[in-house]
Structure 1
């Protein structure tokens, strides 16, 4: 039996190695990373992907319910691809030409800077060697709370429950001071883009969601020279976030969410759905708070006094109804739980 298991593992390893080599060669001519990176990056990426495949596929999950469990729902299995890595690193910075072209169209930059040069400069100021799954394999059961900004959090008293999670993800402005009883005070990761940035506590990881090349340039500038003060609106010239606390959401992961989960609905995904799918890849158990309308059907932020503001209901670029259906379906198959508040 041991000999059979060993032989099977060897065959699987060789097969996976062949797949990754083939994939790399097919995409070799379509990358956006400088040719000088290829030899070292090829070896590193191949080694890391193979190691992650072997460790992840045999990694035990000790949660009561585990997101990664297969054959629970064909709908989920068709969409969830654990091999797509959520965070940009120096080892996985190769972008297929189609992905790069699609990403460039998101904000319609007229004269985008060279992505090759930008990425090289980026990883001189922020970590390029982070684990793209945030060391998920080292945790038996990682419980994550994804906290949206809906007004249904008002008087919900979810604060202590939210703070009990291992990871607490928030997005955009999302103030906690003065709202702790309802939204909690703990934040481990905060997703922003330049136009939605807010200063964070020292122990919080900032995850930049780049919708354009200028967003990557802004991170470089905001942590060094402070020369960028305007995108399509004024943005902070300097930020206090420590450089080793800055992570970059992978552009290819944005496209994965758009293609696999949204099936092309909307022009590009909202920060909310990007946070949810991100959490499926780095967590074993996911609870959602602050998503959707309040009990009266109003759409507004929990810090707003105007319950009919509808500030994030219709943006013109996101399909809110379809995104809501995705999270509702995930809840119906017990992949996530949704706490609807008041």
Structure 2
């Protein structure tokens, strides 16, 4: 009899505990439901998501390949507080083997008196859905009619020469950020951010000169002595980010990453949705710029970049759903 009472007591305790757990679970789920309504969150914008887009490029645990390479803690841009480790500084200076470089600290102090010194694009989080278009210069953009689609993005990244006048139907007219180095520099509209990719200390000195005195006219080739650009919208790629792309993404293939790959990984770091256009060969297998009529491997066989490996990275990112890749014509 006593044994039966013990069993009944234990059963009652179990049922009571189960009831409490179920009520608590219901209460929690109901609270989350009303919390979602209060904040305007949908299923795709719950607080544990890194952005408000349907698919967030920075979302972890969706691909081991991506997780091994992507490091959100790396800051893509320089600021007045940027400090380079000795190994990164040596690696960076060897990219174009600058002889007797100027003191980097002194150059940076002078530079950040002219351009903004604060870090930007650190506003990622659940409420944001920043859509970006990365526009390569491939001839596959000819006849693509992507222009209006490209211009719908919040940010539109272009690189090097990349003309838009006369090509708007295929490449769009909007440019929010233009990536360049001194030897590929061009004049920009006031609404466009100049994003400098520095390969050496002299490149930072060139930017100072191009915005002020115009006294630097030569690096390893002739460069623009002055440039038209909005000083308040100038950004500098961090050499630490440069090396991270080379190590993590390229696995040190090629001498250093191309402008295209740097821009693409930059977009992955500061955007929530990344749309990629103008990468790879044309449908005829030709590698040329969309504004040129050059057959063959005009910009592919540079001897500096591993173009095939870089393109495979782009395709893999598309295959695992991290970017949207538009093949063109």
Provide the secondary structure at the position in 1 that maps to 2:321.
Answer: coil
Counterpart secondary structure, 2:205: helix
User: Equivalent residue of 2:202, what SS?
Assistant: helix
Q: Distance in 1 between matches of 2:141 and 2:268?
A: 22
Q: Which residue, out of 307, 325, 328, partners 1:338?
A: 325
What's the TM-score once normalised by structure 2's chain length?
A: 0.84
Quote the Cα distance in structure 2 between the aligned partners of 1:272 and 1:75.
Answer: 20
Query: 1:318 and 2:305 equivalent?
Result: yes
Structure 1: gaps of 5 or more residues: 1-56
Q: Which residue matches 2:71?
A: 81
How much has 1:201 moved relative to structure 2?
1.2
Aligned residues: 283
For residues 137 and 97 of structure 1, what CA distance do their matches in structure 2 show?
33
Q: In the TM superposition, what are the counterparts of 1:244-255 in structure 2 within 5 Å?
A: 244-255=232-243
Q: Which residue in the other structure is 1:263 paired with?
A: 251
Match of 1:306 in 2: 294
Q: Is it true that 1:193 corresponds to 2:178 in the alignment? A: no
CA deviation vs aligned residue, 1:98-147 (integer Å, no higher than 9, x gap): 1111001000011111111111111111111131x364449611110000
- What residue ranges of structure 2 are gaps of 5+ in the alignment? 1-46
Q: Specify which of 267, 282, 285 is matched with residue 279 of structure 1.
A: 267
- Whether the 8 Å CA contact 2:48–2:126 is kept in 1: the answer is no
- Residues 232-263 of structure 1 deviation map (CA, whole Å, 9 limit, x = unaligned): 11111111112111110111000000000000
Partner of 1:127: 116
1:60-102 CA distances to partner (integer Å, 9 max, x unpaired)? 41111111111111010010000001110123x1111111110
Structure 2 CA distance, aligned partners of 1:198 and 1:294?
A: 25
- Structure ID, larger Rg: 2
- TM-score normalised to the size of structure 1? 0.81
Residues 162-214 of structure 1 show CA distances to partners (whole Å, capped at 9, x for unaligned) of 00101000000000000000000000000000000111111000000001111
Q: What is the CA distance between 1:307 and its match in structure 2?
A: 3.2
What is the aligned counterpart of 2:86 among 72, 97, 101?
Answer: 97
8 Å Cα contact 1:151-1:307 kept in structure 2 = no
Does residue 293 of the first structure (1) align with residue 256 of the second (2)?
A: no
